[in-house]
């Protein structure tokens, strides 16, 4: 399974977003003309409109937002009030060209607010969220504008449009309908109120998660308590404590998932228990960052909004614009896998218990023991553990000799690092991307290290999206959260971190290789339950023999990873899949349960509801808690994957079948990469997602490769 992450995309997320508007964007706003001295006032003069990070200051965003909203509303009003009969060019194309200033401001702001935030940006985010939601309403609930779109859609067969243009018209009509364009005036007013409240609540949830994660870091008094962690990691914990004015102590920062990386190495069980307890309690133990009330409010507001739009619950509303289509299909997928996944997890727990008993541990395996003893079970079964692998996974080699190398072999891409472009943090790296003919096609930004002011997880975003209509090339960024080692120490990655690097670059390729006309369809502007598919496919190259031999070399000696160790790694791919699948399913089920509630059934007891939901679904296995609990479940509650966390598994079905196609056709070959690029990666959202898959694969996806990958082909329920 891929490593879940937050993906920042301008995708058709059923709610309101389109690539043309780039971000939720407000009722008419009075704004002074934006002076040319504001670096956001015009497109950057740097290559490919790369953002001038050295010139952009916090104080530039508010006036730029105001001007951007004002300008786009003026553009939309001009389209709506055009006395000429609606045509594709004077209505649809005109909308695609609108809002360039707002797109520029919102993409740069949202990217920085996720990767390098501060109190000033957080305050702007809180202020702008409801205004942007109102701005979107002012566009999508503009009846004159919608009537022009509707009129064109009604006679679409007579317009002689090419396939991409015809699909654009279809998408605009659907976007307006889903945004409430057909509602009465009174209901539109209610809808605007819901949108503003939801936007503010999502912002509050996101900011609480980041602040609570930082505040909940584990503090220990002695170096001995961190036994098992590397000297470099312990030194980093001491440095973090000093930074927090806790000299002499040690601080282990949390990541946003329930599981915490140090749990796999900490030998002190009491410290492991404290670390897991801190992780599980986030947002639900009182205090100013408690998210329980926010979760309840969001669930109710989303349900009420969905009902207003004619849907029985928010999930039904959200899924109508996804490839899964409805809650029945999602529930079927999750329920079919739940029983065998938990059965496999129980078998894995039994194996762990044998190790504990053999060591005379005198305790039953708990959630905070799993990662620690899993490595021991792995070592016993396959004669290796994570510590043997990390020396072969040095970050620079993984990136250049692994991730980039695979892209070169498959797509003919080459990468050249440059130091002359400004960055928002000294650790950020920038690469020019060249096609096989030597022509530069895009710029790639790599932001790999964790920071206290950076959101958790890993994600991709586009600062500039490719568009033939606008003449723009993509500027795409990957963000990871790898702990930064002390100065002079190498950055050695765990297997999951290597996998994440390949995964996120799969998203990047979707943006870098985009070749569409309309910005609405650029790169990752596809349904949410399809967007993970290309990124999951890219994970396969992590263990491809040719790729691995090129990057998995000992950071000191340069010696390649021994074949016998690699063979063991490959042989262990199905290891611990019961745990991995169960923790993911538990989170996915929580996401669906919250969003399949009608408004009058939303409970006030968040933790009680969670416990009952997990029990009813058959995934309440204490040693394997959900990957995210509701109070820090940013995918679900912050808006990007609301009622959509199942998407990773849905996409993985397509991914597993695609991996089989690559294997059947010779693997890491340029002809295979070119076929995937031409039929799917370059096409963005220019057609129905599953039609793109069928064009690539020649048929619908089969489920068997996914079941085989996860070790669920046998009847694990017995």
Which positions are catalytic? 504
Tokens standing for residue 51: 């953002």
Q: Where are the alpha helices (DSSP H) in 81-118?
A: 94-96, 100-115
Local structure of 227: helix, strand or coil: strand
3-state helix, strand, coil in the chain (%, to 5): 55, 5, 35
Contact assessment for residue 321 and residue 178, using Cβ atoms and an 8 Å cutoff = yes
Pairing state between β 429-434 and 459-464: unpaired
Tokens standing for residue 381: 């079964």
Local structure of 341: helix, strand or coil: helix
DSSP, residue by residue, 365-400: --HHHHHHHHHHHHHHHHS--HHHHGGG-BHHHIII
Tokens standing for residue 282: 């986030």
Cα separation, 291 vs 468, in Å, equals: 43
Phi-psi region of 668 (alpha: psi -120 to 50; beta: other; left: phi over 0): beta
Specify the length of the chain in residues.
Answer: 718
DSSP 269: H
Q: Which residues contact 141 (CB under 8 A, 6 or more apart)?
A: 179, 180, 181, 183, 188, 191, 192
Cα separation, 219 vs 231, in Å, equals: 17
Cα separation, 557 vs 714, in Å, equals: 43
Contact assessment for residue 320 and residue 178, using Cβ atoms and an 8 Å cutoff = yes
Measure the CA dihedral 229/580/713/347, to 10°: 70
- Angle, helix 327-358 to helix 577-595, in steps of 10 degrees: 140
Cα separation, 523 vs 517, in Å, equals: 11
Q: Which residues contact 714 (CB under 8 A, 6 or more apart)?
A: none
């Amino acid at each position: 399974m891929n490593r879940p992450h937050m993906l920042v995309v301008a995708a058709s997320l059923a709610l309101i977003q389109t690539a043309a508007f780039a971000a939720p964007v407000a009722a008419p706003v009075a704004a002074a003309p934006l002076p040319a001295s504001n670096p956001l006032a015009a497109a950057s003069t740097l290559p490919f409109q790369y953002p001038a990070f050295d010139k952009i200051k916090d104080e530039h965003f508010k006036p730029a937002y105001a001007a951007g909203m004002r300008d786009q509303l003026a553009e939309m009003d001009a389209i709506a009030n055009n006395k000429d009969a609606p045509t594709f060019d004077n209505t649809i194309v005109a909308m695609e060209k609108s809002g360039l200033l707002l797109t520029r401001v919102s993409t740069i702001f949202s990217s920085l607010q996720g990767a390098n935030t501060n109190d000033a940006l957080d305050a702007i985010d809180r202020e702008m969220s409801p205004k942007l939601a109102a701005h979107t309403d002012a566009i999508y609930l503009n009846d004159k504008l919608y009537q022009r779109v509707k009129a064109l859609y009604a006679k679409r067969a007579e317009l002689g449009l090419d396939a991409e243009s015809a699909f654009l018209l279809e998408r605009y009509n659907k976007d307006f309908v889903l945004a409430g364009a057909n509602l009465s005036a009174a209901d539109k007013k209610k809808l605007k109120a819901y949108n503003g409240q939801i936007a503010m609540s999502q912002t509050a949830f996101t900011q609480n998660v980041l602040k609570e994660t930082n505040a909940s870091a584990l503090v220990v008094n002695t170096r001995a308590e961190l036994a098992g962690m590397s000297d470099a990691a312990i030194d980093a914990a001491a440095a973090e404590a000093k930074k927090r004015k806790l000299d002499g102590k040690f601080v282990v920062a949390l990541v946003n998932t329930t599981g915490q990386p140090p749990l796999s190495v900490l030998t002190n069980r009491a410290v492991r228990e404290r670390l897991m307890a801190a992780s599980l309690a986030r947002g639900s133990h009182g205090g100013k960052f408690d998210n329980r009330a926010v979760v309840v409010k969001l669930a109710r507001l989303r349900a009420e909004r969905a009902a207003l739009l004619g849907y029985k619950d928010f999930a039904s509303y959200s899924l109508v614009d996804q490839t899964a289509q409805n809650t029945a299909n999602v529930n079927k997928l999750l329920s079919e896998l739940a029983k065998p996944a938990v059965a496999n997890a129980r078998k894995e727990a039994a194996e762990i218990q044998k190790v504990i008993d053999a060591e005379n541990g005198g305790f039953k395996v708990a959630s905070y023991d799993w990662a620690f003893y899993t490595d021991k079970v792995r070592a016993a079964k396959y004669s290796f553990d994570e510590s043997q692998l990390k020396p072969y996974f040095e970050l620079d080699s993984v990136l250049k000799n692994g991730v980039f190398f695979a892209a070169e072999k498959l797509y003919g891409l080459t990468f050249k690092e440059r130091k002359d472009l400004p960055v928002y943090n000294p650790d950020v790296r920038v690469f020019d991307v060249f096609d096989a003919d030597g022509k530069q096609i895009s710029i790639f930004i790599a932001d790999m290290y964790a920071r206290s002011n950076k959101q958790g997880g890993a994600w991709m975003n586009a600062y500039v999206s490719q568009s033939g209509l606008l003449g723009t090339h993509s500027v795409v960024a990957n963000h990871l959260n790898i702990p930064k080692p002390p100065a002079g120490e190498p950055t050695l990655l765990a297997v999951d971190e290597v996998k994440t690097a390949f995964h996120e670059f799969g998203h990047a390729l979707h943006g870098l290789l985009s070749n569409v006309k309309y910005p609405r369809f650029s790169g990752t502007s596809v349904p949410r339950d399809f967007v993970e598919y290309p990124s999951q496919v890219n994970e396969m190259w992590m263990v491809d023999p040719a790729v691995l031999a090129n990057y998995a070399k000992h950071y000191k000696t340069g010696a390649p990873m021994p074949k016998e160790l690699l063979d063991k790694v490959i042989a262990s791919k199905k290891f611990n899949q019961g745990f991995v699948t169960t923790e993911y399913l538990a989170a996915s089920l929580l996401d669906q349960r919250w969003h399949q509630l009608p408004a009058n059934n939303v409970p006030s007891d968040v933790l009680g509801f969670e416990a009952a939901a997990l029990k009813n679904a058959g995934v309440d296995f204490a040693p394997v808690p959900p990957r995210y609990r509701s109070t820090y479940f940013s995918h679900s509650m912050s808006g990007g994957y609301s009622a959509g966390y199942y998407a990773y598994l849905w996409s993985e079905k397509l991914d597993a079948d695609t991996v089989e196609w690559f294997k059947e056709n010779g693997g890491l070959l340029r002809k295979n990469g070119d076929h995937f690029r031409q039929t799917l990666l370059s096409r963005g959202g220019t057609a129905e997602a599953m039609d793109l898959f069928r064009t690539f694969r020649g048929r619908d996806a089969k489920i068997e490769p996914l079941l085989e990958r996860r070790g669920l082909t046998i009847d694990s329920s017995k």
